[in-house]
Structure 1
Amino acid sequence: MRPTLDESKPIFQQITKMIEDDIVNGELKEGEQAPSSTQLVAYYKINPSTVLKGMNQLVDDQILYKKRGVGMFVADGARGKLLEARRQTFMEEYIGSMLQEAGRLGISTDDIYKMMEEMKRRGER
């Protein structure tokens, strides 16, 4: 769990993203129990309906499933589904806008590859 929530986005979306991040990062594995709404309510001191809204979104997206009287668990295939959705978002938000700006600046695809390799080398230092 993240130490704090912030004001930048609705809290239920932050709860959803936090659980998704735990699944993507391998901290929560398929079949494992997700943090309970009671735990999240107590930890963050937030309204139970806010937590349930975020968790129910994950159930609707088939990332979590409910076991009546036991809790919510990570669904089979949840990590793959989240990775694919995030790859698509990455392509649309980052790659798409990068290519638009490159077009405005007259930067070729080959030049973009060279820039990416340079940035990768810088990060490996």
Structure 2
Amino acid sequence: MTTTQELTEGLDDLPYSVFAKACPSRGTLEHVTGRWGGLALTALYEGSLRFNELRRRVDGVSEKMLSQTLHALERDGLVHREAQPTNPPRVDYDLTPLGRGVAERLLALIHFVEGSMDDVLAARERYDSARA
């Protein structure tokens, strides 16, 4: 089993720390791990999507929230937005190399969570039963 010390070894040498309130990495972590950011990034891992294609892929996100999420991810350098000068305008979203690296790690976490859902659901049932 990996210890916390092993996981955090060498992090003190980094110039950024999400544990520091004023660190800019904290905002990026929020964008990446927030409900819509993680889903948008991993949906784009499959390839370039137009706004409405992405909205359909990320079921439940509002147009406003997706727009805000994509702006934040673009600002962080994780998503590339390309507007085509056509009528009607066409806008495509794709991952940058940095965004691709983040999405790969998120997908590993997503696969782990999805694969563990039987255990999670059983734990929820035990928890709820104990408090009923």
Q: TM-score range by the shorter chain?
A: 0.3 to 0.5
- TM-score normalised by structure 1 residue count: 0.39
The structure richer in strand per residue is 2
